[in-house]
Amino acid sequence: MTQKKQKMIFDIFDIIIVIFIILGTILYISRKRSSTIKKKILNIFNKSTVDISKKPKNTRDIIQKIHDLQKNMVIFYGSQTGTAENFAFRLAKEGHARYGLSTITVNLEDYDYENLNDFPPEKLAIFVIATYGEGEPTDNAAEFFQFLQSENLTFSNKNVYNKPLSNLNYIIFGLGNSTYEYYNHMSRTLDTLLTKLGANKISKRGEGDDGTGTMEEDFLTWKDKMWEDVAKKMNLKEKEALYIPEFEITENLELSSFSDIVFLGELNKKHLIGATKPFNSYNPFIAPVTKSYELFFCKERNCLHIEFNIENSNMKYQTGDHLAIWPSNSNQEVDRLLSTLDLINKRNTVISIKNIDSTVKIPIPQPSTYDSILRYYLEICGPVSRQSLTVLAQFAPSEKAKKETLKLGLDKDYFRKTISSHCFNLAQTMQFITPKLWTKVPFSFIIECFTSLKPRYYSISSSNLIYPTKVHITAVVESQIFPEHNNILNGVATNYLLVLKQKQNKEINLRPFEVNYALNGPRNKYSNFHLPIHIRRSNFHLPHDTTIPIIMIGPGTGVAPFRAFVMERAEQMKRGKKIGKTILFYGCRYRDVDFLYKDEWNEYKNIMGDSFEMHIAFSRETNKKIYVQNLLEQNSFQVNKILECNGILYICGDAARMARKVNMTLHKIIRKERGLGKTEVDQVIKKMRNENRLFEDIWS
């Protein structure tokens, strides 16, 4: 190779090296700038959170956690709908405000409990435990109970017979519904388990009853005596209970509601940037409503049939599952609260929320706006808590208003007569107390006052065998009018669906108190009639063996899952399968007014023939009211015969007005037809439940 050629090659290499150096430098600078931009964005997203270096380390060791945080009271909660969680947070806040306790609330599923025997004896554990479904633990408490009830239970190398929890001082408040058979079953079970393990009960167990509508008052009555016992045990002195905020609220003038990092109702960060699969309870699917229509033939009441398309979601359901709908609050209630707080002109102001105590969870994605927080994230329409009024009094706009607010907060009879009997929410209560604006109320108090806006669950009324990519629901619209106050209590989700149905079908709203919603959703993401939804699995399913006979009892909208069941069995018969006896007991007021899916049942009968029977109770058509339990008793021989042949019984509907009476009738039928005593009947019913031959999907 000549010297000239070698020089040319080296020149080319030099040029290539220089080019790579330049490109590398540009890439490094651009990546650094990109990283800086990302950090700035993340800093804005995480502005509310405490510096990670200052946070306690993530751990599933609860003993280590309370030691690191120097807490002396731990409130554990098992919650399904948010009520138990709300009670737990209220206890933590009250303990700190009244007695100076260092408190922490703990989601039971976030920790392990093998070393619970090391719980310090000078500290206190409170368990706020809800019972869910048919005497089951809530989803977040299931593993905790599974651990405590395990056959080979051990605590840090100590077995159950050594009374390993002798250091644990505890208190329990249970949440249940007395219309259910297993009322407060989980709180009672926990009390028994802890006592057996040697733990020390400091105060009498409390029980709240949703069935009688006294949950809040049960809680307030219980906690007054409970705090006396705690103060005595821990040698505490009560101090003046002033409001201590859990959150620091900052108006962020650098951002506007048009900023693409501001949450305007999006449920999570995925929804902010564009929701992607998988879709579930943490990441709902924004589904199109493909069809909506009225099922009742009267002006006074509404019942809706709504169909959702889930074709592009990869979500699948089984006949009998539940559909969750994520609603929003009405324009009227959002405006009412904003106006009362004198925030109507600042509704679109962006705010950031910082937790003062790092263990307190911020319940709202943020930064957000005043309007979005009240519209999409908080249960502002729920009944006001009497306890919250004693704190609210500090911020009353006048001395007269302060005295009235305190009286309402302290006098439960006056509160019941004046506020709770009319189902006033917080804003309505404030307006009732005084027409003046409540300008001194910190927005942190508003956030702390409400639970998070939760999804509403509906029994799916379609069969996945026929509609694998569509979900039907059947929902009666909840409304209660109070003429003396020109007020109406609207169910949040069902009235949203009603307005959506009216808009979709270009109907006129004829209701006396018009209510409207932001149907287009945050940034128009729900436009053209979309809603965020997810599927919740249930155990309320048809048997795999299609020849097994079934009895279904479902008055009113309780018929929703049974429409799906009968629809599916009719389709199975069309496909050549043998179908067992399928009997439906249904009830409504009038055959020409509220007989749901009236024309469909004859179609199913034509397909299924003698395999399908339908017994209908029209409760208002004669002077003598007839209900489904009356029809059950009239057909007691057939009902008992099917149950003796290992048939399956399903009950769906209202717990207080129907399910309990149906269960009583079932006991009566078995006792009469089999000649058994009460104790023996109880054993038969228990065996049916254990063998998955008795299912209930009921609500209060």
Kindly report the number of other CB atoms within 10 A of residue 363's CB atom.
21
Q: Tell me: the pLDDT tens digits for 611-620?
A: 999 999 999 8
Q: Which two tokens stand for residue 25?
A: 């430098």
Q: In the chain, how many H helices and how many E strands?
A: 21, 25
Confidence at residue 9, expressed as pLDDT on a 0 to 100 scale: 42
Confidence at residue 296, expressed as pLDDT on a 0 to 100 scale: 94
Three-class SS string for 47-112? CCCCCHHHCCCCCCEHHHHHHHHCCCEEEEEECCCCHHHHHHHHHHHHHHHHHCCCEEEEEHHHCE
Q: Are 308 and 289 in contact (CB under 8 A)?
A: yes
Give the integer Cα–Cα distance in Å for 395 and 295.
47
Give the integer Cα–Cα distance in Å for 89 and 76.
10
Mean pLDDT of the chain: 89
Would strands 124-132 and 582-588 be described as parallel, antiparallel, or unpaired? unpaired
The highest-level CATH class for domain 62-234 is alpha beta
The residue whose two tokens read 């806006």 is: 453
Residues of the binding site for FAD: 456-459, 474-476, 491-494, 699
Residues of the binding site: 79-84, 130-133, 175-184, 210, 301, 456-459, 474-476, 491-494, 557, 619-620, 625-629, 699
Give the integer Cα–Cα distance in Å for 479 and 499.
13
Q: Are 263 and 365 in contact (CB under 8 A)?
A: yes
The highest-level CATH class for domain 550-699 is alpha beta
Give the integer Cα–Cα distance in Å for 117 and 120.
8
Residues of the binding site for FMN: 79-84, 130-133, 175-184, 210
Local structure of 205: helix, strand or coil: coil
Query: Given CA atoms 231, 235, 238, 239 in this order, what sign does their dihedral have?
Result: negative
Confidence at residue 35, expressed as pLDDT on a 0 to 100 scale: 39
Amino acid at 389: L
Q: Which residues pair with 293 in a beta bridge?
A: 305
Dihedral angle computed from the Cα positions of residues 291, 296, 299 and 302, in that order, rounded to the nearest 10 degrees: -60
DSSP string, 597-619: THHHHHHHHHHHGGGEEEEEEET
Give the integer Cα–Cα distance in Å for 322 and 326.
13
Give the integer Cα–Cα distance in Å for 160 and 491.
48
Which stretches of the chain drop beneath a pLDDT of 70?
1-58, 157-161, 485-486, 512, 700
Element (H, E) at 533: strand 530-536
- Helix-, strand-, coil-residue percentages of the chain, each rounded to 5: 40, 20, 40
Q: Which two tokens stand for residue 192?
A: 């028994």
Residues of the binding site for NADP(+): 301, 557, 619-620, 625-629
Q: Are 164 and 155 in contact (CB under 8 A)?
A: yes
Give the integer Cα–Cα distance in Å for 569 and 684.
28
Confidence at residue 523, expressed as pLDDT on a 0 to 100 scale: 96
Residues with Cβ within 8 Å of 127's Cβ and at least 6 positions away in sequence, in order, are 75, 76, 77, 78, 170, 171, 172, 173, 187, 190
Q: Are 74 and 104 in contact (CB under 8 A)?
A: yes
Q: Give exposure, 499-523, as e/b (b: 16+ Cβ within 10 Å).
A: bbbbebeeeeeebeeebebbbebbb
Three-class SS string for 221-240? HHHHHHHHHHHHHHCCCCCC
Q: Tell me: the pLDDT tens digits for 382-408?
A: 999 999 999 999 999 999 999 999 999
